[in-house]
Amino acid sequence: MFCSKKKSLEVERIVKANDREYNEKFQYADNRIHTSKYNILTFLPINLFEQFQRVANAYFLFLLILQLIPEISSLTWFTTIVPLVLVITMTAVKDATDDYFRHKSDNQVNNRLSEVLIDSKLQNEKWMNVKVGDVIKLENNQFVAADLLLLSSSEPHGLCYIETAELDGETNLKVRHALSVTSELGADFSRLAKFDGPDTKLMQNSGKTKFKRTSIDKLLNTLVLWIFGFLVCLGIILAIGNSIWENQVGDQFRTFLFWNEREKNSVFSGFLTFWSYIIILNTVVPISLYVSMEVIRLGHSYFINWDRKMYYSGKSTPAEARTTTLNEELGQIEYVFSDKTGTLTQNIMTFKKCSINGKIYGEVPEGMGQKTDIPKKNEPMDFSVNLQADRTFQFFDHRLMESVKLGDSKVYEFLRLLALCHTVMSEENSAGQLIYQVQSPDEGALVTAARNFGFIFKSRTPDTITVEELGTLVTYQLLAFLDFNNIRKRMSVIVRNPEGQIKLYSKGADTILFEKLHPSNEDLLTLTTDHLSEFAGEGLRTLAIAYRDLDDKYFKEWHKMLEDANTLKDERDERIAGLYEEIERDLMLLGATAVEDKLQEGVTETIASLSLANIKIWVLTGDKQETAINIGYACNMLTDDMNDVFIVAGNTAVEVREELRKAKENLFGQNRSSSNGHVVFEKQQLELDSVVEETITGDYALIINGHSLAHALESDVKNDLLELACMCKTVVCCRVTPLQKAQVVELVRNYRNAVTLAIGDGANDVSMIKSAHIGVGISGQEGLQAVLASDYSFAQFRYLQRLLLVHGRWSYFRMCKFLGYFFYKNFAFTLVHFWFGFFCGFSAQTVYDQWFITLFNIVYTSLPVLAMGIFDQDVSDQNSMDYPQLYKPGQLNLLFNKRQFFICMAHGIYTSLALFFIPYGAFYNVAGEDGQHIADYQSFAVTMATSLVIVVSVQIALDTSYWTVINHVFIWGSIATYFSILFTMHSNGIFGIFPNQFPFVGNVRHSLTQKCIWLVILLTTVASVVPVVIVRFLKMDLCPTLSDQIRQRQKAQKKARPLRSRRPQTRRSSSRRSGYAFAHQEGYGELITSGKNMRAKNPPLTSGLEKTLYNSTSWIENFCKKTTDTVSCFSQDKTVKL
Amino acid sequence: MTWSATARGAHQPDNTAFTQQRLPAWQPLLSASIALPLFFCAGLAFIGLGLGLFYSSYGIKELEYDYTGNPGTGNCSACALADQDRAPPLRCSCAWYFSLPELFPGPVYLYYELTNFYQNNRRYSVSRDDTQLSGLPSALLHPANECAPYQRRASGLPIAPCGAIANSLFNDSFSLWHQRQPGGPYVEVPLDRTGIAWWTDCHVKFRNPPLVNGSLALAFQGTAPPPNWPRPVYELSPDPNNTGFINQDFVVWMRTAALPTFRKLYARIRQGNYSTGLPRGTYLVNITYNYPVRAFGGHKLIVFSNISWMGGKNPFLGIAYLVVGSLCILMGFVMLVVYIRYQDQNDEDEDAE
Checking if the pLDDT of B187 tops 60, the result is: yes
> Which among A935, A961, A1029 is the nearest to B35, CB-wise?
A1029
Q: What ipTM score was computed for the predicted complex, to two decimals?
A: 0.94
Q: Do B324 and A303 touch (CB under 8 A)?
A: no
A443 is in an annotated binding site: yes
pLDDT value, residue A156: 65
Residues in chain A closer than 8 A to B314 (CB atoms): 922, 924-926, 1012
State mean pLDDT over B315-320.
93
Give the distance, in angstroms, between the CA of residue A225 and the centroid of all CA atoms in the same chain.
31
Mean pLDDT of all residues belonging to chain A: 79
pLDDT value, residue A106: 77
Give the chain B residue whose CA is nearest to the CA of A312.
Answer: B12
> Which among A258, A782, A1033 is the nearest to B35, CB-wise?
A1033
Nearest CA-CA partner of A399 in A374, A371, A362, A369:
A362
> Which among A877, A923, A1047 is the nearest to B29, CB-wise?
A1047
Interval A827-885: pLDDT, tens: 999 999 999 999 998 988 999 988 999 899 889 999 999 999 999 998 889 889 999 99
pLDDT value, residue A263: 61
Mean pLDDT of all residues belonging to chain B: 86
Residues in chain A closer than 8 A to B135 (CB atoms): none
Interval A527-573: pLDDT, tens: 888 888 888 877 788 888 999 988 888 888 888 888 888 888 778 88
Helix (H, G, I), strand (E, B) or coil at B216: helix
pLDDT value, residue A767: 84
Q: Is the alpha carbon torsion for A533, A535, A539, A544 positive or negative? A: negative
Checking if the pLDDT of B157 tops 70, the result is: yes
CA distance A79 to A851: 7
pLDDT value, residue A85: 87
Who has greater pLDDT, A672 or B338?
B338
pLDDT value, residue A964: 93
Residues in chain A closer than 8 A to B121 (CB atoms): 250, 257, 840-841, 843, 845
> Which of 932-951 (A) contact B at CB < 8 A?
932-941
CA distance A991 to chain B (A): 8
> HSE on the CB side for B167, CA within 13 Å?
26
State mean pLDDT over A259-279.
81
- Count CB pairs under 8 A between chains A and B: 297
Interface test with B, best of A839, A916, A1033 (most B CBs within 10 A): A1033
State mean pLDDT over A954-975.
94
A849 is in an annotated binding site: no
Interval A997-1018: pLDDT, tens: 888 888 888 888 888 899 999 9
* H helix count then E strand count, chain A: 40, 27
Give the distance, in angstroms, between the CA of residue A514 and the centroid of all CA atoms in the same chain.
42
A741 is in an annotated binding site: yes
CA distance B18 to B320: 45
pLDDT value, residue A274: 93
pLDDT value, residue A511: 83
Checking if the pLDDT of A206 tops 50, the result is: no
pLDDT value, residue A781: 61
Checking if the pLDDT of A12 tops 80, the result is: no
CA distance A295 to B193: 57
The partner residues of B114 in beta bridges, in order of sequence, read B262, B300
Return the minimum-mean-pLDDT range out of A107-116, A443-452, A472-481: A107-116
Give the chain A residue whose CA is nearest to the CA of B13.
Answer: A306
φ, ψ for residue A964, nearest 5 deg: -85, 175
CA distance A224 to B196: 49
Interval A1012-1054: pLDDT, tens: 899 999 999 999 999 999 999 998 888 888 888 888 887 775 4
User: For residues A57 and A88, is the Cβ–Cβ distance under 8 A?
Assistant: yes
Interval A411-425: pLDDT, tens: 888 989 988 888 888
> Which of 914-933 (A) contact B at CB < 8 A?
918, 920-933
Interface test with B, best of A251, A790, A1037, A1044 (most B CBs within 10 A): A1037
A322 touches chain B (CB under 8 A): no
CA distance A515 to A916: 89
Interface test with B, best of A103, A126, A143, A256 (most B CBs within 10 A): A256
Sheet holding B281-289, edge to edge: B92-100, B281-289, B173-179, B186-189
CA distance B144 to chain A (A): 10
Interval A21-76: pLDDT, tens: 777 777 777 777 776 777 888 888 888 888 887 777 788 888 888 888 877 777 87
Q: Is the alpha carbon torsion for B3, B7, B8, B12 positive or negative? A: positive
> HSE on the CB side for A1114, CA within 13 Å?
14
Q: Do A845 and B107 touch (CB under 8 A)?
A: no
> Which among B198, B252, B257 is the nearest to A1006, CB-wise?
B198
A1094: number of Cβ within 10 Å: 19
Residues in chain A closer than 8 A to B3 (CB atoms): 108
User: For residues A807 and A873, is the Cβ–Cβ distance under 8 A?
Assistant: no
Q: Do B13 and A308 touch (CB under 8 A)?
A: yes
pLDDT value, residue A944: 94
Interval A1091-1125: pLDDT, tens: 666 654 444 333 333 333 344 444 434 433 443 33
Q: Do B130 and A1023 touch (CB under 8 A)?
A: no
> Which among A841, A845, A1023 is the nearest to B324, CB-wise?
A1023
Which residue blocks in A318-433 are alpha helix, DSSP H?
398-406, 409-420
Q: Do A1015 and B53 touch (CB under 8 A)?
A: yes
pLDDT value, residue A429: 75
Q: Do A1019 and B324 touch (CB under 8 A)?
A: yes
A621 is in an annotated binding site: yes
CA distance B119 to B261: 9
Q: What is the DSSP letter of A806?
A: I
CA distance A328 to chain B (A): 17
A765 touches chain B (CB under 8 A): no
pLDDT-derived band at A800 (thresholds 50, 70, 90) equals: very high
A507 is in an annotated binding site: yes
pLDDT value, residue A364: 61
Q: What is the percent of chain A with per-residue pLDDT over 70, rounded to a whole number?
A: 82
State mean pLDDT over A729-754.
87
Q: What is the percent of chain B with per-residue pLDDT over 70, rounded to a whole number?
A: 92
User: For residues A341 and A623, is the Cβ–Cβ distance under 8 A?
Assistant: yes
pLDDT-derived band at A207 (thresholds 50, 70, 90) equals: very low
Who has greater pLDDT, A971 or A346?
A971
Which residue spans within B87-221 are E strands per DSSP?
Answer: 92-100, 104-105, 108-114, 173-179, 186-189
Checking if the pLDDT of A187 tops 90, the result is: no
A936 is in an annotated binding site: no
State mean pLDDT over A82-97.
83
Residues in chain A closer than 8 A to B10 (CB atoms): 315-318
pLDDT value, residue A6: 38
Helix (H, G, I), strand (E, B) or coil at A74: coil
Who has greater pLDDT, A80 or A412?
A412
> Which among A249, A1016, A1047 is the nearest to B317, CB-wise?
A1016
Interval A570-595: pLDDT, tens: 788 888 888 888 888 888 888 899 88
Q: Do B268 and A253 touch (CB under 8 A)?
A: no
Q: Do A1002 and B331 touch (CB under 8 A)?
A: no
Who has greater pLDDT, A652 or A1135?
A652
pLDDT-derived band at A515 (thresholds 50, 70, 90) equals: confident
A623 is in an annotated binding site: yes
Give the chain B residue whose CA is nearest to the CA of A844.
Answer: B122
Helix (H, G, I), strand (E, B) or coil at A427: strand
> Which among B24, B119, B311 is the nearest to A1010, CB-wise?
B311
User: Taking the model in full, what pTM does it have?
Assistant: 0.83
CA distance A834 to A845: 10
pLDDT-derived band at A179 (thresholds 50, 70, 90) equals: low
> Which of 804-833 (A) contact B at CB < 8 A?
810
> Which among B5, B120, B338 is the nearest to A840, CB-wise?
B120
The partner residues of A475 in beta bridges, in order of sequence, read A466
Checking if the pLDDT of B198 tops 80, the result is: yes
pLDDT-derived band at A636 (thresholds 50, 70, 90) equals: confident
A888 is in an annotated binding site: no
State mean pLDDT over A957-966.
93
Mark whether A199 is an active-site residue.
no
State mean pLDDT over B136-153.
87
Residues in chain B closer than 8 A to A307 (CB atoms): 13, 19-20
| Residue of A147, A339, A483, A791 marked catalytic | A339
A765 is in an annotated binding site: yes
A1030 touches chain B (CB under 8 A): yes
pLDDT value, residue B84: 57
State mean pLDDT over B129-155.
88
Element (H, E) at A975: helix A965-985
B33: number of Cβ within 10 Å: 9
Helix (H, G, I), strand (E, B) or coil at A54: coil
pLDDT value, residue A215: 87
Residues in chain B closer than 8 A to A924 (CB atoms): 259, 261, 314, 316
Give the chain B residue whose CA is nearest to the CA of A1033.
Answer: B30
Label residue A858 exposed, middle or buried (CB < 10 Å: 0-12, 13-18, 19+).
middle
pLDDT-derived band at A1070 (thresholds 50, 70, 90) equals: low
Checking if the pLDDT of A520 tops 50, the result is: yes
pLDDT value, residue A700: 84
pLDDT value, residue A385: 67
Checking if the pLDDT of A666 tops 90, the result is: no
Interval A112-137: pLDDT, tens: 777 777 777 777 878 777 777 777 77
